[in-house]
Amino acid sequence: MSSPRIAIVGAGISGICMAVALQRAGFADFTIYEKADDYGGTWRDNSYPGLVCDVPSRYYQFRFAKNPEWTHLYSAGPEIKDYLVGVAREHGLHRNTRFGTEVTGAEFDGEGWQVTTSDGATGRFDFVLCATGFLHHPTRPDIPGLDDFAGPVMHSARWRHDVDITGKRVGVIGTGSTGTQLVSAMAGNASEVVLFQRTPQWILPTVNRPYTRLSKWLYKRVPALGAVPYLFNRAAFAVFSQGLVHPGRVRKLIQWVVERHLKTVEDPELRAKLTPDYQAMCKRLVVSDRFYRTVQRPDVRLVTEGIDAVEQRGVVTADGRLHELDILVLATGFDSHAFMRPMAITGAFGRTLDQAWSAGPRAFEGVMMPDFPNLFMLVGPHSPFANHPLTAVAEAQSTRIVGWLQRWRAGEFTTIAPTHAATDRYNARMRAAAPSTVWTTGCTSWYLGKDGLPELWPWTPGAYEKLIRSAPNTADYQLNLRAASRS
């Protein structure tokens, strides 16, 4: 029985999850390539003040590695990063990991993959598993004069800890989860925080309560208790997801909750500026227990006029006003449609990834593509993103991938890829279901592709997990069966 040689690209949530799944299934010949110097992915790259996950801690974790030591209902970024590093170390993944090594290319030669790294080295593998995620290429806004600003300019995902904001005038461009967290964290430390808002966001209220020493002691002494909050949150998210994909009571209830929360802003003029003109959840819902209180502070200023340019002293808005600043922060998100790019990937028949995705990222069941045999993706196109925990998505997808690897090991095939027909049918079904989702109700978001439809799974995350954990339909795949006699 042969053992496949496996390359995992990325050591974030999905890369760690995939590697542990391989270990548990008895696959030992795998290499994790990580361009940075540590585990953690987006939780390593993002270290800005106020960073907190918007999914409850006891749900945003692997089921095989429940953590009894979470300190709060919603964990801070450094705590999640430490958790991921701890999982990797506990499973000895450092023995298989090459840090500081970026995969620049992968080419299929008819039987396997030739992988090239940034140091010019090459390696040959039977399978390539892309665990690159989708929030790792920061987007820098195209604003005239941005490079002319005299003070520090930093993207939230490239936070400069050598820059002291104390007593400084700080401008923040962007009002998503990152922008709201930054403003809430910096107010009171900076002399003034100026938030430049292009589009207001709906804010879902919460209370980020700390876990008591007693509760942490109980979860540690009785590990089975960890299943209770996990299953509770899973059930709550299942109800929440109904509002994402179907109009009805859940969607109306969430709309009522966020509108009621908005009324806590006392100034009617400020409240009007903070009121979105689209349905709640059309954009990724922001979860915060501090933002509305913070934005009403005298040292916080909301600017809704469009940005015309940046000059040496600050930001000039469309009304001609100069907003003088000492520091400028770009909370402008990521190129969420890049996935594995800029890796140069060439599949069968010389077909490149850029050619395959010329009309936008496209996949079969979120994990594979036609013409790219033995290449799998974790958290790839059309996976359940939104506010669903990516830990759960990665676990479900790694189960499917391990299943195919076991069949390879058993000698059932040498190479596998979904057929074009199956991929076309799958994507057609998703496009047909998209209009009923909240993401098509009238807003612009990073969820939308070139055709204006969301590049998301248009049904509930539970339905996706059921699909991806079930036995695949072999008729949807092209298998090379030359290895049927493999011993």
Residue type, 414: T
pLDDT digits (tens, 9 = 90+) for 43-95: 999 999 999 999 999 999 999 999 999 999 999 999 999 999 999 999 999 99
pLDDT digits (tens, 9 = 90+) for 407-460: 999 999 999 999 999 999 999 999 999 999 999 999 988 888 878 888 889 999
Confidence of residue 482 (pLDDT cuts 50, 70, 90): low
Buried b (16+ CB within 10 A) or exposed e, 189-217: ebebbbbbbeebbbbbbbebeebeeeebe
pLDDT of residue 336: 72
Confidence of residue 487 (pLDDT cuts 50, 70, 90): very low
Backbone phi and psi for residue 322, each to the nearest 5 degrees, phi listed first: -95, 125
pTM as predicted:
0.94
**How much is the average pLDDT of 369-387?**
90
Confidence of residue 160 (pLDDT cuts 50, 70, 90): very high
The answer to whether the beta carbons of residues 286 and 294 sit under 8 Å apart is no
pLDDT digits (tens, 9 = 90+) for 221-250: 999 998 999 999 999 999 999 999 999 999
Domains and their CATH numbers in the chain? 6-137+335-480 (3.50.50.60), 146-330 (3.50.50.60)
